[in-house]
Amino acid sequence: MGYTHYYQVLNWDSDEWKAAWPQLIKDVPMIIDRANGIEISGPTEDEEIVTPVQIDAEKGIYINGVGDDSHEPFIIKKDGWSFCKTARKPYDDIVTTILLRAYMLPPKGFDVSSDGYWDEWSEAQDIYKKLWPGEAPRCPWADKLEQEESDDPAIRVE
């Protein structure tokens, strides 16, 4: 197992996601720039070799850390991955901010959950607030937890 984020575009052909996807592609470089100092790479077979990050509307998004700070690649693409284990390595701040932005653009078009807690996404929340000060980031899985809480009084949202 491990520290994992789970995500899914609910319908790539929906009007909501068709509008959100190009915006997300435009926003990812800003997220990377704001998370200054975090070394990341694009697709590569060797985790020590840095390649350009992939951010393309057709090919998708592909990001990983570098060297000892790499783990699993974060990929969003049609018919692609739906989870990423970052092991809380530095690139996790970029991954969680991208996931947060992907969720906030079309909240009913992108599903996100995490093995982490919302307070562990504090750096992503800070980056988000600096880039989009008029938008308060919301916990992507809060609605699910509230539903579980209403179904089972033993589960609590904190």
pLDDT of residue 157: 40
pLDDT of residue 47: 86
pLDDT of residue 13: 95
pLDDT of residue 145: 57
pLDDT of residue 154: 42
Chain segment 60-79, per-residue pLDDT in tens: 999 999 999 999 999 999 98
Do residues 138 and 104 make contact, with C-beta atoms less than 8 angstroms apart? yes
Do residues 84 and 75 make contact, with C-beta atoms less than 8 angstroms apart? yes
Task: Quote the pTM value.
Answer: 0.90
C-alpha R_g of the chain: 15
Phi/psi zone of residue 79: left (φ > 0), alpha (ψ -120 to 50 degrees), beta?
left
Cα torsion 5, 88, 106, 6 to 10°: value is 0
Give the CA distances from residue 46 to residues 20, 71, 74, in Å, rounded to whole numbers and listed in that order. Answer: 32, 12, 16
Q: Which residues of the chain have pLDDT under 70?
A: 1, 144-158
- Helix H or strand E segment including 127: helix 122-131
